[in-house]
Chains A and B, each alone.
Chain A
Amino acid sequence: MLKVNGIYKTFNRGTINEKRALNGVDLVLNEGDFVTIIGGNGAGKSTLLNSICGVFPVDCGSIFIDDIDVTRLPEYKRAKYLGRVFQDPMMGTAADMWIEENMSLAYRRGMPRGLKWAITSKERKMYREMLSHLGLGLENRLSSKVGLLSGGQRQALTLLMAVMRKPKLLLLDEHTAALDPKTAETVLELSEKFITEDNLTAMMITHNMKDAITHGNRLIMMHEGRIIYDVSGEEKAKLTVDDLLKKFADLSGEEFANDRALLN
């Protein structure tokens, strides 16, 4: 499904701000894997996801999605394989456009965009139906500007837009971190629901160790640009937060340092 072979990424090379973000990451995801990713500050979690998306080119290594080499493909061309939800709820939607317009943009991901009407009445019906499953009352606000929605509503909409085309890979980058606990719970439940229903392959970065354990079939721990722990199946299901903290200390020789994780 996804094959990441030895990717390296250094930011600001040769300057005082030089930062080696990825230090040789190898990763193979199987069809239907739901991987949660944890790690301290600057471990390279977001850099890994952004490398897969093509936000920037990697220094070396290769990335395959379904045996298609996407390493040199620009971000907008890879988009057809990917669904993405960002940490910042403002980033995943176009604030000045309506809900239905945002959805029609996502619906055409990976398709050529020509001079046909952007939204058909059939689509509009489908969007309303999809929105009703979110349970947020958005199905009656198709022509509301997305900028008027709350952070949680925007994030739920972004999630829906990310999965509506059944992406080969769904990438969730701490997508509940900016939400209040209750809304975060709702969005996380929706994510779980979409992933299970459509049997999606997904990667989810989280700072919440409990969420990392309870969700998904596989867990990855990153440290200093490397994957230091990769566990799945039975073994993962049995993990506790204390196990994880101990594992981290053993493997990295450091205390787990993630300012947000400590607050949880």
Chain B
Amino acid sequence: MLAFLSSLPGAVAQGIIWGIMAMGVYITFKIMDIADLTVDGSFATGGATLVVAVTSGLDVGLAILLAFIVGCAAGLITGLLHTKFGIPAILAGILTQLALYSINLRIMSQKANLPLSVDKYDILISLRNIPGALAVGAVFVVVIIAIMYWFFGTELGHSLRATGCNQSMARANGINTDTNKIIGLVISNGMVALSGSLLAQYQGFADINMGRGAIVIGLAAVIIGEVIFSKLFKNFALKLLSAVIGGIIYYIVITLVLRMGLNANDLKLFSALVVAIFLGIPYWKRRIAERKSINPKGAA
């Protein structure tokens, strides 16, 4: 128990970093109504870009910005495949994700793993200094939520929301839905790559597999946040925050089950099960409600 408590701050720090990724997933999954699988690739792209940039002497702030931009580019590719090639969004994301595996290896000079020592380089966030990591993570969360809150309150942000909600209506009101989908995918993957760049710093390396299953973790965070806070949080900023809190809860639970003796190799199975169950809950609720409504004690 004591060991679990002592590992809590680390879990929270990781949860915050993945929470930033979850906010990116929130934009595509909840606002644009697209399940974007690019993120498994673009998360690692963010990490790889950062490590290569910092180790070749770039300032860490600029390296994070660079990771963000490269992530945006990945989103742009998926967006173009979806809107200009007419490929269904899920498949477009899978194609980009697959291509990114090769690209990420090229970024890392064909190495599957690149170290980034906190002793040698001046980086922002590291598991050696967890209170510092928590503070930096919190600042990133606040700044990103503030920017997203502003953006989705603008004319362009509104047109993105309309595109995700009702494409016929959006087009009838003069909104270019294709462009808006691309913009949504670009922003989302930029945030995902930024999150990857923070995780690479935190863990001290970038790995070709660091994004594997990222979409599931992001969805888990979004859904956990939604299930717990949807009654409480109505404001858009708070809804984004609930995705971050969902990420934190997810990592606390993961830490707990690992402490309880779950084989680390079974983690992905565990994550998939959690997400499947949470995604199923709204459906089951509806089914049960329907069954009740058609069977009111024998009445017709």
Contacts and interface: CB of A to CB of B under 8 A. Distances in A.
Interface of A: 53, 74-77, 79-80, 82, 84, 86, 90-97, 101, 104-106, 108-111, 113-118, 161
A118 B155 contact: yes
B158 A118 contact: yes
Given A105-B175, A110-B174, A86 B162 contact: no
Interface stretch (B98-106, B125-133, B165-173): B165-173
Nearest to B157: A118
Q: Would you call the interface of chain A mostly helix, strand, loop, or mixed?
A: loop
B169 A108 contact: no
**5 closest A-B pairs (Cβ-Cβ)?**
A79-B174, A113-B155, A94-B165, A118-B158, A109-B174
Contact of B153 (A109, A113, A118): A118
B226 to A, nearest CB: 14
Contact of B155 (A86, A96, A108, A161): A108
9 contacts: A91-B168, A96-B165, A101-B161, A104-B158, A110-B174, A113-B155, A114-B154, A115-B155, A116-B155
A106 B156 contact: no
Contacts of A93: 166, 169
A74 B177 CA distance: 11
Nearest to B156: A113
B230 interface: no
A207 B94 CA distance: 46
Interface residues of B, number: 22
Contact of B162 (A75, A90, A94, A111): A94
Given A97-B162, A108-B155, A108-B173, 13 more contacts: A77-B174, A80-B174, A92-B172, A94-B165, A95-B166, A97-B161, A97-B165, A101-B158, A104-B155, A116-B154, A117-B154, A117-B155, A118-B153
B159 A105 contact: yes
Q: Would you call the interface of chain B mostly helix, strand, loop, or mixed?
A: helix
A68 B89 CA distance: 35
A109 B174 CA distance: 5
B109 interface: no
Interface in B165-208: 165-166, 168-177
Interface in B135-175: 151, 153-159, 161-162, 165-166, 168-175
A91 B154 contact: no
B162 A113 contact: no
A113 B162 CA distance: 13
A91 B165 CA distance: 10
A94 B166 contact: yes
B155 A114 contact: yes
A108 B158 CA distance: 11
B234 to A, nearest CB: 10
A84 B172 contact: yes
B171 A113 contact: no
Contacts of B171: 75-76, 79
Contact of A53 (B153, B154, B172): B172
Given A94-B162, A96-B161, A105-B162, A113 B175 contact: yes
Contacts of A74: 176
Nearest to B160: A113
Nearest to B152: A118
Nearest to A83: B172
Given A76-B171, A84-B172, A118 B166 contact: no
Contacts of A90: 166
A161 B162 CA distance: 14
A76 B174 contact: yes
A132 B274 CA distance: 48
A113 to B, nearest CB: 4
